[in-house]
Structure 1
Amino acid sequence: MHVLILPSWYPETPDDVDGIFFRQQAQALQRSGLKVGVVAPLFRSMRGKPETILSANYGFDDYVEQDVPTYVYHSMYFFPRTRLDQRRWVNAGKKLFKRYVAKHGRPDVLHAHSMNHGGILAHAIHQQTGIPYVITEHSSTYARKLIHDWQRPGMQAAAEACASRLAVSHEFCTLLKREYQGLEWQYLPNILSAPFEAPVNLAAKPANDVFTFCSVAHLQPKKGFDILLPAFAEALKARPQMQLKIGGTGPEAAKLQQLAENLNLGAPVTFLGGLKNDEVLALMYASDAFVLASRVETFGVVFIEALSQGLPVIATRCGGPESIVTPDNGILIPTENPQALAEALVRLYDTRSRYAAADLRQACLNEFGERSIVDQLTRQYRAAAARHSV
């Protein structure tokens, strides 16, 4: 079976983590024996990368990454969240599709990741070619009320015409059913990446003198570090034998470091800066637990990464973690609640012996490992192709 992936965003470089889970899933599908390609318009943000308007690439490119042919088009969003830039993105995707098909043949199924703009593109290609498509939704824009009225008719039409609608958490399925006028959505989570699934000797994990929580995310408001730091300061009053290591960069970095200083957190809190994938893996392996106080998540790959390294987790009820975190592997708390988070930090520390690292890892692999997710996706593809051929 030949599957073409249409992600709404995608890593621009080998070290780029923006959309990394799309690339990881495509490569996992390729390893399973499917024929897989990727078509990805890469439009940079004027707000996020204004300096690249003159310095970065424009135009078409293609390359093979771990046996996955990848076709990209580099450009810039000049008028973000407008019909014009959506049309530019979709038109670029159509041209990439033609280039891909000319060399690799017609796919049996399209798999779009997120409605804007991958789902819109998949619908346009389907209208022209009849190729069935599957959509997996990941975007937090629904929960954050960022969908414009002008976008909804095209999104609704794409959702109605697709062969299968998937979402990465149970809560998200419920939200999307409301957003799409009662259309049903199925839960199918993101995949655990190969480095985190690779064999690991949990028995050899270092025994820390001080119980170590780690947290990894972009340092931006929706990740809730302004909630975590005061909560950790409060928890330290009760349990001073703890420390917190934070990995990530972002617009809130200086503000959060100042907050930590104002709270007199000192040595117990360390800001590690930006971490590459192998550095995140090493941090989790050397830690005792994971915590993140997000305000909104549609899934939360970082939680399954932590579980894969035998770490119990603390998360907020913000959409995605509810499909990951259970009483057997961690603690769920309300959002925007420093006191509840402080109590959870203390409770996890006090009950740390009940979480067996090997059990946490095995349960994670069973649900989110490559074989489980690839098998589920393959069934979706075959069902879509079979319905189309009838």
Structure 2
Amino acid sequence: MTTDRADDRNVAVVTPWYPNPQQEWAGAFVQAMVEATAPGCDEVTVYHNEAWLMRQAPEEVEAAREAHRRLLPVALHDAPTVAGARLMRLPVPTVPDYTFAELAQQHASWLRESLGGEPIPARVVHAHVGLRGGWTALENARPDARVFVTEHASFIDKVLEQPDSRDMYEQVLDRCTGFFAVTDVLRDRLAETFPALAHKIELISNPISFEAPRPRPVTELRRWLYVGTLVERKGVGWLLEAFAECHAGDPELTLTIAGPGVLAGALAKRAAELHVDHVVTFTGEVAPDEATRLMREHDLLVHPARWETFGVSIIEAVAAGMPVLVTRCGGPERTLAGIEDAVGEMIDVEENSESIVAGYHRLRDRFPDGLDLAKGRRVLDERFGYRTVAQAHYRHWFSGPEAGEGAASGGEEA
């Protein structure tokens, strides 16, 4: 059987997250994946299906959906995004208390609506997260499309706890052409849940840019930085307590906390109670390029998460020439395997600030001679750099019997 391969290198990306003016940080890892892979493709179109929560009374919901349906043709248009790709934003009206499977059904339905009932035109479709991305892509891909899914959700256990969502997830695994987890933590969790489909789950990490090193090397560990959401799971409360203790011994220490979250107000109040509010800066949410700038201007990234599937900001910090103090919380001990001492200090997850303080003192005592940040950057670039991750995707997207020999060789050369 012969197939038309003229569009083999056209790729669609389906995602529930992508940076936008209201949430510049949301989906930065998806944007990075587009930036890394688009140069090796003919065309890349990003379908950002963004949930818009409706708070109408139940009897008004259907009327609101009908109004949304009428306005949709006016609202839809594509715009340029990174690396020559195109971006189409699609609002998806949802209501509270949906399961993840019900959310996925809404995302799939509204994407079909936006496409006028036609399938996604690209022959390669890559989705982010299993249900709102993967299910949506599978339900809207053309019959001959190769559909791939990347899972990087730290809330995967919540998804799998819901019976309907777990069943839908199994269907996604079964139906997709290829399935990728960003760390072996996620891969092992999914393989344990779906043993009959474990063979389909491979590792491809989030891509990290190593193109912008800091202008001057770190010479002392006094300007602390945290980048991430302000939620309990990230351990940022313990970070603040630890900083206050360390600041008492070294008044020149400062801390910048960059990110949004429900704990912002409580953390600011606690900083005042600890008498460190004059040396603690809360930036709120920052865009990815602003986060990179902060990393190049600070001395130490402190990331005391309770659980992390990957930990993008940790790798970004090393890419920016910055040492790190991080917990062994799932992802970091794997992403930093073999270079832990070269790039900083790793500590166990403990529900206290003392472990962070002790880790900081150990790191300070062996800085700088006990570290090798240049080696760490080289190793991590080989593992997670744009070229490495892009080549891994090309091998899957454009290789195999369905794509033909020409596409396979093109993928290897891109």
TM-score after normalising by structure 2 = 0.80
| 1: CA distance, partners of 2:166 / 2:159 | 12
How big is each residue's C-alpha offset from its partner over 1:327-360, in whole Å with a ceiling of 9 and x where there is no partner? 3222222224322222111111111212244333
SS in 2 for 1:341: helix
Match in the other structure for 1:318: 329
Q: Report % sequence identity.
A: 25
Match in the other structure for 2:316: 305
Displacement of 1:111 after TM fit?
Answer: 0.9
Match in the other structure for 1:151: 165
1:81 aligns to 2:94 (yes or no):
no
User: Which stretch shifts more, 91-100 or 28-37?
Assistant: 91-100
Once the two structures are superposed, the pairs formed by residues 55-134 of structure 1 within 5 Å of their partners are 59=72, 60-66=76-82, 67-82=84-99, 84-96=102-114, 106-125=121-140, 129-134=143-148
Match in the other structure for 1:41: 49
Q: Cα 1:277–1:342, aligned 2, differ >3 Å: closer, same or farther?
A: same
Q: Is the 8 A contact 1:39 1:96 kept in 2?
A: no
| 1: CA distance, partners of 2:381 / 2:125 | 27
Q: Cα 1:327–1:164, aligned 2, differ >3 Å: closer, same or farther?
A: farther
Once the two structures are superposed, the pairs formed by residues 1-390 of structure 1 within 5 Å of their partners are 1-13=9-21, 16-45=24-53, 59=72, 60-66=76-82, 67-82=84-99, 84-96=102-114, 106-125=121-140, 129-144=143-158, 147-182=161-196, 183-184=198-199, 185-193=201-209, 197-200=210-213, 202=215, 204-205=216-217, 211-237=222-248, 242-325=253-336, 326-337=340-351, 338-353=353-368, 354-383=370-399, 385-386=400-401
SS in 1 for 2:195: coil
Q: Cα 1:145–1:70, aligned 2, differ >3 Å: closer, same or farther?
A: closer
Aligned-pair RMSD on alpha carbons?
3.0
Displacement of 1:363 after TM fit?
Answer: 2.8
Instruction: List gaps (5 residues or longer) in structure 2.
Output: 1-8, 56-63, 406-414
Q: Is the 8 A contact 1:235 1:343 kept in 2?
A: no
One-letter code aligned to 2:314: F
One-letter code aligned to 2:122: P
| 2: CA distance, partners of 1:346 / 1:320 | 23
SS in 2 for 1:10: coil
How big is each residue's C-alpha offset from its partner over 1:96-136, in whole Å with a ceiling of 9 and x where there is no partner? 4568868xxx322211110121111223235x613121111
One-letter code aligned to 1:107: A
Q: Cα 1:245–1:158, aligned 2, differ >3 Å: closer, same or farther?
A: same
One-letter code aligned to 1:71: M
Displacement of 1:40 after TM fit?
Answer: 2.5
| 2: CA distance, partners of 1:345 / 1:146 | 37
How big is each residue's C-alpha offset from its partner over 1:71-105, in whole Å with a ceiling of 9 and x where there is no partner? 33213322442455432211122344568868xxx
How big is each residue's C-alpha offset from its partner over 1:128-179, in whole Å with a ceiling of 9 and x where there is no partner? 6131211110112224567411111111011012222211112121112123
SS in 2 for 1:129: coil
Equivalenced residues, count: 374
SS in 2 for 1:250: coil
